[in-house]
């Protein structure tokens, strides 16, 4: 059987299912092209002098790596002229980026985490790009932060690219989740993982255990039960993984199940979690739900949260349905 490239997959989705507007198809193709360029930079590493610190900070108060800045610039440049977008927002930029006036303005808003897991870049461990697409509310003025503050349910597409042993793009536009592997010789993404589904049960969990003393009671209870294994109420032994790249953790969960958690942390009560809602939580929650899994902040589905600011943080529990439902029920019982 002939291979299905990303372009063919998207054109067929547009034609046969009628669920992919042409401007959105073009936008996804453009994001994929940008991710290919980011993949090349990530792969070159020290050979291209792209490792290490950029010497600057972002709005989150985090030191930027050179590749955080490079990936952000690649995404901005690739997406500003195509005519699909009204504005973009990024983890690395305090304010939304309006499409320059010399380019046509389209109907979508693109949000991204240009390089996720960037603490891993200098040690040659998987990193990724995460993106989310919303429709821009109608109006002829330049889009502002308020236009982005839509719940995750309103996303029209979301995806990530993982730069690992293989570079893979995983995508949803609300009709299942599909994975594409980059064929470097051909220069194209090829459909290798159609209809990805997350198993409902699992024996694998991911959490940064070093934060244990700062967790709330429901999380203490749940992790205690996982660690108790066959001797505890859950009656089975669990294994643990922590890559410290959310993209890599979510990818593992899509392939073989698992539960990923970044709970609220008592160290800074002003932050309801470490990860960001709009360009980490929402796109991953959309993908996970589309693959049959669940994603909550411990209290409610992430996709139902009404955001109040662009760089808002959120607690995250996502992955295999049984486990996410269990830890969410423990929060309700608290
Ligand atoms: P980013 O590199 O975009 O700031 O995101 C890093 C995130 C996420 O990818 C990962 O799950 C988590 O931070 C790792 O946190 P720890 O440093 O607590 O391990
Ligand atoms: Mn991130
Ligand atoms: Mn990042």
Residue nearest to ligand 1 atom 3, measured at CA: 116
Measured in residues, the chain has a length of 334
Q: Is the confidence at residue 140, as pLDDT, over 80?
A: no
The per-residue pLDDT for range 82-136, each reduced to its tens digit, is 999 999 999 999 999 999 999 999 999 999 999 999 999 999 999 999 999 999 9
Place of tokens 């009404």: 306
Atom 12 in ligand 1: which residue has the minimum CA distance? 244
Per cent of the chain over pLDDT 70 is 99
All domains in the chain, ordered by first residue? 6-193 (3.30.540.10), 204-333 (3.40.190.80)
Mode of pairing for the β-strands spanning 204-206 and 239-240: parallel
Q: Pick the residue whose CA is nearest to atom 17 on ligand 1.
A: 244
Please report where in the chains the tokens 């739900």 appear, as a residue: 289
Query: Closest ligand to 72 CA?
Result: 3
> Measured between alpha carbons, how far is 129 from 191 in angstroms, rounded to an integer?
18
Give CA–CA dist 275/295, Å, rounded.
13
Measured distance CA(220)–CA(217) in Å, rounded = 5
Q: Residue 17: what pLDDT? A: 66
Greater model confidence, 267 or 17? 267
Scan for tokens 């092209």, then name that residue.
Answer: 33
| CB-ligand 1 contact for 244 (6 Å cutoff) | yes
- Smallest CA-to-CA distance from 270 within 324, 309, 229, 327 is with 309
Q: Is 117 annotated as a binding residue?
A: yes
115 is in an annotated binding site: yes
The per-residue pLDDT for range 223-253, each reduced to its tens digit, is 999 999 999 999 999 999 999 999 999 999 9
Distance 324 CA to ligand 2 centre (A): 21
SS3 at position 84:
coil
Does the C-beta of 208 come closer than 6 Å to ligand 1? yes
**DSSP string covering 176-222:** --EEEEEETTTTEEEEEE-S----S--SEEE--GGGGGGS-HHHHHH
Q: CA 164, 165, 166 angle in degrees (round to 5)? A: 80
């Amino acid at each position: 059987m002939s291979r299905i490239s990303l372009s063919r997959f998207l054109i067929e989705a547009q034609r046969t299912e009628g669920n992919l507007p042409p401007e959105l198809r073009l936008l996804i193709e453009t994001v994929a092209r940008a991710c290919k360029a980011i993949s090349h930079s990530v792969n070159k590493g020290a050979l291209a002098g792209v490792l290490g610190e950029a010497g600057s900070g972002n709005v989150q108060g985090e030191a930027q790596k050179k590749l955080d800045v490079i990936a952000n610039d690649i995404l901005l440049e690739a997406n500003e002229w195509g005519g699909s977008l009204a504005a973009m927002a990024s983890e690395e930029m305090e304010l939304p980026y309006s499409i320059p006036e010399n380019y046509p303005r389209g109907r979508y808003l693109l949000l991204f985490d240009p390089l996720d897991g960037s603490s891993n870049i200098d040690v040659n461990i998987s990193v990724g790009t995460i993106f989310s697409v919303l429709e821009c509310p109608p109006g002829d003025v330049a889009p502002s932060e308020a236009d982005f503050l839509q719940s995750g349910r309103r996303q029209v597409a979301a995806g990530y690219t993982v730069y690992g042993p293989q570079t893979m793009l995983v995508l949803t536009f609300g009709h299942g989740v599909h994975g594409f592997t980059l064929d470097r010789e051909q220069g194209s993404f090829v459909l290798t993982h159609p209809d990805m589904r997350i198993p409902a049960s699992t024996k694998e969990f991911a959490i940064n255990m070093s934060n244990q003393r700062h967790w709330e009671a429901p999380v203490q209870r749940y992790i205690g039960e996982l660690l108790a294994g066959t001797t505890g109420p859950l009656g089975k032994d669990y294994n643990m993984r922590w890559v410290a790249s959310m993209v890599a953790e979510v990818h593992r969960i899509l392939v073989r199940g698992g539960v990923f958690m970044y709970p609220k942390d008592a160290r800074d009560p002003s932050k309801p979690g470490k990860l960001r809602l709009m360009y980490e939580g929402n796109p991953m929650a959309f993908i996970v739900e589309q693959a049959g899994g669940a994603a909550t902040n411990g209290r409610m589905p992430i996709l139902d949260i009404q955001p109040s600011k662009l760089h808002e943080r959120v607690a995250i529990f996502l992955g295999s349905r049984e486990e996410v439902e269990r830890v969410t029920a423990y929060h309700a019982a608290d």
